[in-house]
Every structure is written in structure tokens, then in C-alpha cells.
A and B are shown apart, each in its own frame.
Chain A
């Protein structure tokens, strides 16, 4: 069975909510929609305080080439356009909407019918995706239309759909693959047509055999509606298989060059959630206004997968899953390996929120750091063949040119090194700092 060639770890998967069907979460009383839910320039607000909005209406338009539109996920009145604290307590420009009813734009097709026909040109598909404000739903939130427009001179040959979901606990992609299989496959076909690729793979780790089987069945049924055969590739369970570079290596054997992009080896990677969003945008005219969010944790009464409107407070999700246990110590936006700990649980769900993990006292605190015993385990598990122990120390000593020579910019921040360190050295904390500094230095050098 295929997997990526180097490094990796096996954290306990703890997929508590894998068997929970997607439930629709009730509308919030008030929705906070940040204007920057994607990588790149923030969107520019198109509404002002007092405006009435309906579901699907454009409330902020892309603020640059690498940026994304934002649509209203609810109907109601705009009460403010102001900086609101996000999950990290940092104030970011947001549109606050008081929810009134649930009135949708009439152009959106809300029927459950599957629409497989598409007569649009590739450029029209990309334009529709851009219009719908779709971003990478796996958590990286890179605007999808940018990824689907390869730079001149580069051609996408292979499309890889990421159904790996290697993060422990998270099950939203798993549920999407099971419950919206046909829509995902149509969406994959649309992305493949937009890119004009010759080959498409869907990579799924073999701890989700039901999803693999279901995907294969639907691909076989729908083979005539697709531009070419889509191959579902089972992958050996190993973290961080969902990393773009790891997934490309696992499926095609191609190695993305240092500081390069997947397109440099003719590959484009998209998440299954993104494929679903593409289907809805292109075939149903529905912009990206809701997403599936896993709410999980060992002490949560009812770990669930919710279909949630963007802008819903995280605390609403927690309530719907049975409430926050009294001894909760950590709430993580995303999975335990790459998610961000939240200091403000009233922050909204955004386009990139794949899950919320609630952690109790047993696992919340890190163990005290002790002396590095030079076991070399961090070197062994690094999927990018870096030397984490060295990079973290170089960062502490602020030796930036040495850190650059050690290719610190290649770090994908997967956290395998810190996970595996027996001395509990916060390796990734330091490396991330060093990476930021070194990237700053490289950028200033390039701009000179």
C-alpha cells in the first residue's frame, strides 16, 4: 500500500465522531463573519451598518488576486462592520449580522437533486468558483481559483483529491465522503475539467475503508459523466499524509522541490470538502456559506459532525454537542497536530474550521521541558528530512543564516518532531519562529 517515503508518526487516531451522521446546526442569533478567512489579502466589505442581507448575498469582495469573496451565511441586518476578536483574541475586521429568519437568494438551487451535467468552459468554471469565494477547506484556506489557474508555462497533469484526513479526531471529510459521495465526485470532475488534467486520484487512508468502497462504487456508476476515470487510492495510515507534498509523493512518487509548489511537478491538490463546495457553487449557484465541522473531544458528551453556517460562534457548536465539560482546559480550532488553541470560544466558525477539539485536564498541558538527549527521533520522523533539534537551537541563538542553510523554510509545521520528542522540547514553537524570521530575510533579499 502506498504512503510517503520519509518520516512520519502514528498518533492515536481517536476518531470519536466517525460514525456520527452530519447534523444541521440551528442558526445562530448573531453571526460574525471575518473579512479575512483565507490566505492572502482581506476581502473588502460591500455592506454597511444597517443594511439588510439575505443568505448568499455578497458582503465583501476579494481584495486582490490572492483573496476570496465573502457571502452572507445568514439573513438579517448588519449591526456592525468592525474589528472583532477571533479565536486567538486578535481583533480582525468582521461583518456582524443579527439573524432574522432564513431568506435565501432566489438564484440558489436548494433542491436535493444531483446535477451532473455541466456545459461550462474551464474558464467559466474557475470564474464561478472565484465568485463563490471558495478556499481550501482542509484548513490551509488558500483561494481555490488561484490554485486552478496555473501560472503561464506550467501545466497541471495530475489532480489529487485529499481525502486523507490524517489529523487525529477530525471526521468531517470522512462524513462528507460517505454522505455526499456523488456531489464530491461531480465536484472532482468539475475541478479536473477546469484544470484539463489527464489523471485524477482520490487519496484516502485505509482507516476509512467504508469511504474508499463508497467512492469507488460511485465513481464506477458515474463514469460516463466524468471527463476521465478517477482512481481511488488507499493509503497506509501515517501522519502527515495529508500534507500536500507528502500526498503527492505518496500517490505519484514525485517530489516537490524545495521552496516549490505542487504545480512545479504538474500536480494540483484539492480537499474533498473543497470538491463538495465546488459542486455546490457551479451546479447549484450556492456560494461558500456553510461547512461541515467536527466537534469532538474525549470529555464531550456527544461528539458530532455539524453542517454549520460560517459565522456561527464556536460556543454554539459546543452547546449543541452537549456543552463544555467543567474541567475543560483547552479548546483547539482544528486537529490536535496542527490546530490553534483558542482563547476566545465565542469566535466564529470560518471557512477553514474543519473541527473543534475540546481537551480535558489530562492531556491539555504540555509536560515540562527537559534536556535534549540527542536521541535523533525528531530527525527520523521529519517528513521533510530536516534536523529539527538543530533548527530549534539555531533559532534560539538567532543564527538565521545557519538556519537558512538547514532549509528551515522547508518545514511544513506538521509537528511530528515535537510530538515524538521524549525530552518534551517545544521544537516546533522555535522552528516556526525561526521560519518566520528566515522567510522575512529571504523576502527582503529577493526584493532588493
Chain B
């Protein structure tokens, strides 16, 4: 025998699916939505994405190398995923220096402050986005017009309409369901293409990167809650279909809420987590100051994850 025998405890075989492979799958799942965004908003989308990804990777490398002084972690592609998700949450017309700032907040404050991948309690991309949204509301909410429609998002239009006292059906009349599904609407460039995002979600399900629990809980709760409101007062509230197809509903439910580090460990915990997100999102959308509440809802539920993880599911009481 030429070699020294290797000794370790069982098991001796492992799944080929490592962290990098999983993150790679998430990137693949995001590609259709990116393609639709480029088609709808033009090449500006790619510039924002590239800058965001590059900054996230560089910031993570620098912090890991010089502050944490640990082994390089950018190889696991998690910084790339954060970069793409952050970009998806920005308007395509955003100045690039804001993208750099957002990436810094996302990676440096949202992720590396807590020790890096797996230790961050809040979704880093959303930390970056919410920072930009609060600090630079004008740049973050001026969207380029799509197909002759105004630059405001459908949800913002609805909110305006409600404030102005006119009926929600006027807003509804302007909306074409097919356009919403395909992505021909105003908004952050990654969140508009509902169909492409669903396609990506199906890929993640097929590759067993995510389970159905969180997305279904988020979207199901949103649909159920908004359906009740709509049933009670169809003139005041938007229909469930509009709620599901506008704003960050799909991107949030499929890609943001399912982030491993910031979602519960168990599947049933995921159901509670998702239901909470759906509920808070609709509350903010209907009664809050902001037209869209998905980002805030996810961050709020992120904070509750440690509590959800304490619930012991499944084991019979002893």
C-alpha cells in the first residue's frame, strides 16, 4: 500500500451538492428574470447587475482578507447571489454610485459584520435595498417608464388612487394581467417578470435547493388576506391577483424569503415564517405609508427566525 490510510467516522460518502453548487443553482434560477429585465428595461440592467455583483464580491473579499483574516469565502458564490438579488431590487435608472453604496451596506453591514455567510440574521440584499430606499427615496422610486405607461409602479398608482379618493377599479382598468405576468410594468427591474421568476422557482424546487413551504406560505397568505379584503370592499382594495403579480411578491417569496441563513431551519417553521411575511406585506401595502412592503416584511420576519427555530416540531411529546 503506497498511501497512509485515511480514518474518519461514518458516514464515508457525501452528497456532491456543496454550498457552491447550491449558490450556482440560485444564480441559474435568476437568469430568466434577468433576461426579461434586459428585454423590458434595456442594457442599463446589465450595468447595474455587474456593478452590484462586482462590488459585493470585492467588499466580501477585502473584509474577509483584512478584517476577519480568515480563508477566502468568495468562492462559495454567496456574494454573487447577494449582488444579483440586490441589483434586482433596484430601479434600472439608478445612479451607479448608489449601487456601490448599496453593495457596501449589504455586504459589510448586512453580512460580514455578523461573521459572514450563515451568521447574518437579516437578508443582506434587503438590508442594502432598504438602506437605499430610506436614504435615497427619490432615486429609489423613480422608475423609467415602460411601454408608454407612467414611471410609477402599479402599487404606487393604487396607493395614489386611494389617497385621491377615486375608485380602485380605475387603477385596475389600467392594468393588463398579461403584462403583469410577463413583466411589462414599472418597478425594480428584477421583480417585474413574475412568470420568469416562477420559472426560476420551479427550477430551484426541482433541484431541491428550496422546498415549497416558504413561497407557498408567503403567496398563499397574501392571496387569502387580500381576497378577504377584496371580497369585503372590492372598490377600496386591489384584487389578490394584482397583489401577487405586482411589487416584489414573486421575487421576495421565491428568492429573498427562502435565503437559507435568514429563514427557519424546519419546514413547518418555514410555513409560519412565510405566513408572517405574507400578512405583514399586505398590511403595509394596504394601510402603510409605503406602496410596497415585501422587503420590510421579510426583514421583520428575519428577526423572528431565532424564535421560530426554538419551536420543537415533529417530535412527539415525551
Contacts and interface: CB of A to CB of B under 8 A. Distances in A.
Interface of A: 6, 9, 11-12, 168, 255, 257-258, 324, 326-332, 334, 336-343, 345, 357, 359, 361, 363-367, 370-376, 379-380, 385-387, 389, 407, 413, 415, 418-424, 426, 428-429, 432
B13 A428 contact: no
Given A343-B7, A389-B265, A422-B18, A336 B12 contact: yes
Contacts of B10: 332, 334, 336-341, 413, 415, 428
A371 B12 contact: no
Contacts of B318: 257-258, 407
Contacts of B264: 376
Of B12, B73, B78, most buried by chain A (CB within 10 Å of CB) is B12
B62 to A, nearest CB: 18
A371 B73 contact: yes
B44 interface: no
Contacts of A339: 10, 12
Nearest to A340: B10
A159 B270 CA distance: 39
Pairs A-B, 6 closest by C-beta atoms: A415-B11, A376-B265, A385-B314, A375-B260, A336-B13, A336-B12
Given A324-B1, A428-B9, A376 B266 contact: yes
Nearest to A9: B15
A232 to B, nearest CB: 29
A327 B3 contact: yes
Given A336-B13, A363-B13, A341 B2 contact: no
Contacts of A366: 8, 14
Nearest to A366: B8
B208 to A, nearest CB: 9
B280 to A, nearest CB: 22
Contacts of B12: 330, 332, 336-337, 339, 341, 357, 359, 363-364
Interface residues of B, number: 41
B22 interface: yes
A418 B1 contact: no
Given A374-B260, A380-B267, A419 B11 contact: yes
Nearest to B75: A370
A168 B116 CA distance: 36
Contacts of B3: 327-329, 361
B5 interface: yes
A255 to B, nearest CB: 7
Given A373-B260, A374-B118, A328 B14 contact: no
A329 B261 contact: no
Interface in B2-53: 2-3, 5-15, 17-19, 21-22
10 contacts: A6-B314, A12-B13, A258-B315, A336-B12, A363-B12, A371-B117, A419-B14, A421-B15, A422-B19, A423-B18
B18 A424 contact: yes
A168 B315 CA distance: 28
B67 interface: no
Interface in B303-318: 313-316, 318
B76 interface: yes
A409 to B, nearest CB: 11
A373 B77 CA distance: 12
Contact of B5 (A330, A375, A385): A330
Q: Which secondary structure dominates where chain A touches chain B? A: loop
Contact of A387 (B14, B76, B265): B265
Interface in B74-118: 76, 78, 115-118
Contacts of A327: 2-3
Contacts of B19: 370, 373, 422-423
A359 B12 CA distance: 9
B119 interface: yes
Contacts of A429: 8-9
B150 to A, nearest CB: 41
B11 A418 contact: yes
A255 B316 contact: yes
A12 B11 CA distance: 13
B5 A371 contact: no
Contacts of A389: 265
Contact of A168 (B13, B117, B261, B270): B13
A119 B115 CA distance: 71
A64 B45 CA distance: 76
Contacts of B5: 328-331, 341-343, 345
Nearest to B262: A374
A367 B2 contact: no
Given A328-B1, A407-B315, A422 B11 contact: no
Nearest to B305: A374
B6 A336 contact: no
Given A255-B316, A371-B118, A422 B6 contact: no
A326 B18 contact: no
A336 B11 CA distance: 6
Nearest to A430: B9
Given A11-B15, A429-B9, 20 more contacts: A257-B318, A327-B2, A331-B5, A332-B10, A337-B12, A337-B13, A339-B10, A361-B3, A367-B14, A370-B76, A371-B115, A372-B118, A373-B261, A376-B260, A376-B266, A385-B313, A386-B315, A423-B19, A424-B14, A426-B9
